[in-house]
Amino acid sequence: MEHLINRAWWAMVLRGLLALAFGVLALAMPGISLFVLVMLFGGFCLAEGILNIAGAITGGDAQHRWWALLLQGLVSVAVALITLLTPGITAMALVFWIGAWAIITGALALGTAVRLRKVIHNEVLLGIAGVLSIVFGVLVFIRPGAGALAIVTWIGIYALFIGVLLVALGLRMRKHRAEVTVVRPAHAA
């Protein structure tokens, strides 16, 4: 896990920045058509999935549990491909895709946060992001009949919160990396 933190902090920051950009676009243009929403969501999931996979590949090895990050990336890429290859998807189907994606990736993020807290003391940001994802996904399933405009607004708010949390976590991971780098040579002397 230490190796993953040292090498993959940048992927977490990029994921957060993508979520922030997606959230700003969704809130700035709430009247966008469902087709544009489908394309934005598909592009966001694809970019996030690729970054997760890259983070798992560059940060993982046989001794570390990088599989959750890889699985989260694969789920995001699969949802992106299905979304982008079927742009005629109905509003209700998109709502359920978004809800399922949020629940699955939230559960995986929560699992990663539990392991990460053993490396970064008192780390809760990824856990909060995971819980928010699960809550958002459940709310989407409870109220699927909400209009597309309301869904766009909620997706935008969700993306902003997740983006801030992921950028903050990535920066904490980078700081932890710097602290570990400074501490290790002192132990060697």
Q: Is the pTM for the entire model greater than 0.75?
A: no
Which pLDDT tens digit goes with each residue over 8-45? Answer: 778 888 888 988 998 898 888 876 656 777 788 888 88
The average confidence (pLDDT) of the chain is 80
Ramachandran assignment for 122, one of left (phi > 0), alpha (psi -120 to 50 degrees), beta (any other):
left
Which pLDDT tens digit goes with each residue over 130-160? Answer: 899 899 888 888 877 665 567 778 788 888 9
- Provide mean pLDDT across the span 66-70: 83
Cα separation, 166 vs 39, whole angstroms: 22
**pLDDT at residue 164, rounded to an integer:** 93
Has residue 78 got a pLDDT over 80? yes
Cα separation, 83 vs 77, whole angstroms: 10
Side chain identity, residue 158: Y
**pLDDT at residue 6, rounded to an integer:** 59
C-alpha distance from residue 135 to each of 75, 99, 103, 121, 156 (Å): 18, 9, 8, 25, 15
Which pLDDT tens digit goes with each residue over 96-140? Answer: 888 898 899 999 888 888 887 777 766 688 888 889 989 988 888
163, 20 Cβ separation under 8 angstroms: yes
Q: Is 84 helix (H, G, I), strand (E, B) or coil?
A: helix
φ and ψ at 32, to 5 degrees?
-65, 155
Side chain identity, residue 68: A
Cα separation, 20 vs 157, whole angstroms: 9
